[in-house]
Structure 1
Amino acid sequence: MTKHADHYNRNLACPACGKKSRFKIWDRIYTDKVPELKDQVRDLSLFHFVCPACGQETYLDYDFLYVQNDVRLVIYYAPGGGDISAMHESLQKPEYAFMQSYQYRLIRTRARLLETLAIFDAALDDRVLEIMKVMLRSWLAAQAEPIHADLVEFTFAGGKKAFHFADTQKGNSGILPFEGGVEQTYKALAQDLEPLLAKEETLTFDQAWAVSFVQQHQDLFA
């Protein structure tokens, strides 16, 4: 195994034929240092392993640090549930003072990683969008033909922003474009909640966090 500053080569055994071959593992991804990694994370090609012996295709999931300076974003991606406290503490040292204004996120799933990147690509606040998801779920459940959406995701593709929602058990799904009243709601929430969100110190802004936040500030959502 050859170790570099940001990546290393690992011998991987193909799950189909068992033959071992080398694959580059990136444990620190700096998009300003290696610009092509930005797209390779988003299209998952960075994690795409093809066995040279039999052609078996596999997508690998592993821990890494992702830093995108142009949007001041740091992501700790730890799908295995690992403890990232030591890494986070290391980035709080004086030499990283310029990163104090960055937003830090701890992400455990590939779907959440891709969604978070899409949100920052769209120049939006993932915390506000997570709160909007709670509101959207309530609104869908209150319709004449209620949809109990267990899946709500933000997407940004081709310059178009939208919420995709689905009741995966019943197979009901739909799309809510991020425009008109939806966009105005976002802007109003972002402005009204900015003082409160600035005080949040967690690294994980998910559905559980959003539900708790709304419950704690019910007067703002009445």
Structure 2
Amino acid sequence: MSIEQQANVTCPVCGRASAFTIWQSINTTENPEMKEAFRDGSVFRFRCPKCGAETPVSYPCLYHEMEQQIMIYLVDEEAVEKTREIFNKGKADPKNHHYIYRIVTMPHDFIEKIRIFDAGRDDRTVEVYKHLLAHTVADTYPDLDYDAIRYDGYSDDGKEYLDVLKGGEVLTSATIDEALYERLDEAVTVQHGAIRHGKEWVIDDKWAAAAIG
């Protein structure tokens, strides 16, 4: 079920308060027209109708793709454990056995998960790939100051990109090497099982570092 509500957001530039739609949950079967807005992150950007300034807005949101059996929950850090318990109970129900559950605490991670699954990728493998890419970036650009590597998805040229970012700005990008991805994917599946049989809901760089050992 999709649940939306209206909230007032005060523009930090001009000080005007305006209405903004917050999605507590989104079911892409009920609201397929909203899928792209979640995929591009526009649901987390407030545009002031008075001065036009854009401001990021973060709020808890449950993203549900019924056809693909995927749930991604964006929550505050302090709500992670409670959400984990909710997902554990959900996974125990036989009708949810094949669901992929994920918990994230930042909108950009939320968006990245959507793009990864849309591309048919395993986010566990992508996180391991990103972890290895970080070492390559450090060796190739030892003085490069960046704060994140993020999966961007398919570009107009038909290639998949991982972006190296600083403050949201793309410094450089790398295409996914399919042969390397397949080797990593096989290793991840052997070690952790098929993605739909997994029982770990927080898949991030810390998970990847522990998985690599």
Is the partner of 2:101 in helix, strand or coil?
A: strand
| Equivalent residue letter for 1:31 | T
Of the structure 1 ranges 106-115 and 91-100, higher mean CA displacement relative to structure 2 is found in 91-100
Instruction: Indicate how the Cα distance of structure 1 residues 160 and 94 shifts in structure 2: closer, same or farther if over 3 A, else same.
Output: closer
| Equivalent residue letter for 2:179 | Q
Are 2:159 and 1:160 aligned? yes
Partner of 1:177: 175
| 1:60-99 mapped onto 2 (5 Å cutoff) | 60-78=57-75, 80-90=76-86, 92-93=89-90, 97-99=94-96
Which deviations, in whole Å up to 9, do the C-alpha atoms of 1:135-174 show, x marking residues without a partner? 223344455x7577753222213332023336x6xxx954
Residue ranges of structure 1 left out of the alignment (5+ in a row): 216-222
TM, length-normalised to structure 2: 0.77
TM, length-normalised to structure 1: 0.75
Instruction: Quote the RMSD (CA, aligned, Å).
Output: 3.2
Q: d(CA) in 1 for partners of 2:206 and 2:74?
A: 18
Which deviations, in whole Å up to 9, do the C-alpha atoms of 1:178-218 show, x marking residues without a partner? 2xxx2112112222321322375332211111111111xxx
Of the structure 1 ranges 130-139 and 25-34, higher mean CA displacement relative to structure 2 is found in 130-139
Are 2:23 and 1:26 aligned? yes
Shift of residue 88, structure 1, vs aligned partner? 4.8
Instruction: Indicate how the Cα distance of structure 1 residues 86 and 134 shifts in structure 2: closer, same or farther if over 3 A, else same.
Output: closer
Are 2:198 and 1:203 aligned? no
Is the partner of 1:33 in helix, strand or coil?
A: coil
The answer to whether the Cα contact below 8 Å between 2:7 and 2:20 also exists between their aligned partners in 1 is yes
Partner of 1:108: 105
Residue ranges of structure 2 left out of the alignment (5+ in a row): none
Q: d(CA) in 2 for partners of 1:146 and 1:56?
A: 36
Instruction: Indicate how the Cα distance of structure 1 residues 89 and 151 shifts in structure 2: closer, same or farther if over 3 A, else same.
Output: closer
Is the partner of 2:6 in helix, strand or coil?
A: strand
Shift of residue 96, structure 1, vs aligned partner? 6.0
Aligned residues: 204
| Equivalent residue letter for 2:58 | D
- Using the aligned pairs only, state the percent identity: 28
Q: 2:185 aligns with which of 190, 206, 222?
A: 190
